[in-house]
Amino acid sequence: MITLSAGFKGGEVTPLFYIGATLGSALSLVLPLPISLLAGVGFVAVFSGATNAPLACSIMGLELFGIEAGLFIFLACFVAFFVSGNTGIYSSQIIGRKKHPFLKSAVGNRLSEIMFSTK
Protein backbone atom coordinates (compact mmCIF):
# COMPACT_ATOMS: atom_id res chain seq x y z
CA MET A 1 0.00 0.00 0.00
CA ILE A 2 2.92 2.36 0.63
CA THR A 3 4.16 1.75 -2.90
CA LEU A 4 0.73 2.52 -4.36
CA SER A 5 0.45 5.66 -2.20
CA ALA A 6 3.82 6.85 -3.46
CA GLY A 7 2.52 6.83 -7.04
CA PHE A 8 3.72 3.48 -8.39
CA LYS A 9 0.97 1.59 -10.18
CA GLY A 10 1.89 -1.97 -9.21
CA GLY A 11 -0.16 -3.60 -11.95
CA GLU A 12 -3.67 -4.96 -11.63
CA VAL A 13 -2.96 -8.47 -10.40
CA THR A 14 -0.82 -7.92 -7.32
CA PRO A 15 -3.24 -5.51 -5.61
CA LEU A 16 -6.09 -7.98 -6.22
CA PHE A 17 -4.08 -10.76 -4.59
CA TYR A 18 -3.32 -8.50 -1.63
CA ILE A 19 -6.95 -7.40 -1.23
CA GLY A 20 -8.20 -10.98 -1.42
CA ALA A 21 -5.69 -12.33 1.08
CA THR A 22 -6.44 -9.45 3.45
CA LEU A 23 -10.19 -10.06 3.16
CA GLY A 24 -9.70 -13.76 3.84
CA SER A 25 -7.56 -13.00 6.87
CA ALA A 26 -10.17 -10.58 8.20
CA LEU A 27 -12.88 -13.21 7.80
CA SER A 28 -10.97 -15.44 10.20
CA LEU A 29 -12.42 -13.27 12.97
CA VAL A 30 -15.94 -14.54 12.22
CA LEU A 31 -15.32 -17.91 10.55
CA PRO A 32 -13.83 -20.76 12.60
CA LEU A 33 -11.24 -21.69 9.97
CA PRO A 34 -7.45 -21.23 9.87
CA ILE A 35 -6.18 -17.81 8.76
CA SER A 36 -3.88 -19.37 6.18
CA LEU A 37 -6.78 -21.22 4.53
CA LEU A 38 -9.00 -18.14 4.42
CA ALA A 39 -6.18 -15.93 3.13
CA GLY A 40 -5.48 -18.38 0.30
CA VAL A 41 -9.15 -18.74 -0.56
CA GLY A 42 -9.62 -14.96 -0.55
CA PHE A 43 -6.50 -14.59 -2.70
CA VAL A 44 -7.95 -16.65 -5.55
CA ALA A 45 -11.63 -15.78 -5.07
CA VAL A 46 -11.17 -12.03 -5.54
CA PHE A 47 -9.06 -12.69 -8.62
CA SER A 48 -11.74 -15.06 -9.93
CA GLY A 49 -14.42 -12.42 -9.58
CA ALA A 50 -12.28 -9.72 -11.17
CA THR A 51 -11.23 -11.79 -14.17
CA ASN A 52 -14.42 -13.81 -14.72
CA ALA A 53 -12.30 -16.96 -14.92
CA PRO A 54 -13.38 -19.22 -12.03
CA LEU A 55 -12.01 -22.49 -13.37
CA ALA A 56 -8.55 -21.08 -14.11
CA CYS A 57 -8.42 -19.38 -10.70
CA SER A 58 -9.56 -22.59 -8.98
CA ILE A 59 -6.76 -24.54 -10.65
CA MET A 60 -4.30 -21.80 -9.70
CA GLY A 61 -5.51 -22.04 -6.10
CA LEU A 62 -5.03 -25.81 -6.09
CA GLU A 63 -1.49 -25.41 -7.41
CA LEU A 64 -0.60 -22.72 -4.88
CA PHE A 65 -2.38 -23.92 -1.74
CA GLY A 66 -2.81 -27.66 -2.17
CA ILE A 67 -5.60 -30.09 -2.91
CA GLU A 68 -6.70 -30.11 0.74
CA ALA A 69 -8.24 -26.65 0.29
CA GLY A 70 -9.88 -27.63 -3.00
CA LEU A 71 -13.51 -27.61 -1.88
CA PHE A 72 -13.18 -24.17 -0.29
CA ILE A 73 -11.31 -22.82 -3.30
CA PHE A 74 -13.83 -24.07 -5.87
CA LEU A 75 -16.78 -22.83 -3.82
CA ALA A 76 -15.30 -19.37 -3.26
CA CYS A 77 -14.15 -18.93 -6.88
CA PHE A 78 -17.51 -19.82 -8.37
CA VAL A 79 -19.49 -17.72 -5.87
CA ALA A 80 -17.21 -14.75 -6.58
CA PHE A 81 -17.66 -15.32 -10.31
CA PHE A 82 -21.46 -15.41 -10.09
CA VAL A 83 -21.78 -12.21 -8.05
CA SER A 84 -19.14 -10.18 -9.88
CA GLY A 85 -21.18 -9.02 -12.85
CA ASN A 86 -20.41 -9.29 -16.55
CA THR A 87 -17.36 -7.04 -16.80
CA GLY A 88 -13.86 -7.67 -15.56
CA ILE A 89 -10.45 -6.07 -15.38
CA TYR A 90 -9.45 -7.06 -18.90
CA SER A 91 -11.30 -5.03 -21.52
CA SER A 92 -10.14 -7.31 -24.33
CA GLN A 93 -11.81 -10.35 -22.74
CA ILE A 94 -14.62 -11.65 -24.94
CA ILE A 95 -17.67 -12.82 -22.99
CA GLY A 96 -19.33 -15.71 -24.84
CA ARG A 97 -22.67 -15.21 -23.14
CA LYS A 98 -23.82 -13.08 -20.27
CA LYS A 99 -24.60 -14.55 -16.89
CA HIS A 100 -28.20 -15.37 -16.13
CA PRO A 101 -30.04 -12.28 -14.80
CA PHE A 102 -30.86 -14.17 -11.60
CA LEU A 103 -27.16 -14.78 -10.92
CA LYS A 104 -25.76 -11.40 -11.78
CA SER A 105 -25.50 -8.73 -9.16
CA ALA A 106 -26.63 -5.19 -9.96
CA VAL A 107 -24.27 -3.93 -7.29
CA GLY A 108 -21.43 -6.04 -8.69
CA ASN A 109 -22.03 -4.70 -12.20
CA ARG A 110 -22.07 -1.09 -11.00
CA LEU A 111 -18.92 -1.56 -8.90
CA SER A 112 -17.17 -3.19 -11.86
CA GLU A 113 -18.12 -0.26 -14.08
CA ILE A 114 -16.78 2.23 -11.55
CA MET A 115 -13.57 0.36 -10.71
CA PHE A 116 -12.58 -0.92 -14.13
CA SER A 117 -13.80 1.79 -16.50
CA THR A 118 -11.21 2.92 -19.00
CA LYS A 119 -12.61 6.42 -19.55
Mean pLDDT by 10 residues, the chain (119 residues): 63 84 93 93 92 92 93 94 75 65 53 54
pLDDT for the residue numbered 58: 95
Helix crossing, 35-51 with 54-65: angle to 10°?
150
Amino acid identity of residue 45, one-letter, is A
Three-state SS for 60? helix
pLDDT for the residue numbered 4: 60
pTM, two decimal places? 0.71
pLDDT for the residue numbered 90: 67
pLDDT for the residue numbered 95: 67
SS3 content of the chain, % helix, strand, coil (to 5): 65, 0, 35
pLDDT for the residue numbered 117: 56
User: What dihedral do alpha carbons 42, 46, 51, 57 form, nearest 10°?
Assistant: 10
pLDDT for the residue numbered 82: 83
What does DSSP assign to residue 87?
-
Residues in the chain: 119
In degrees and rounded to multiples of 5, residue 11 shows phi and psi of 80, 180
Between CA 54 and CA 1, with CA 65 as vertex, the angle to 5 degrees is 80
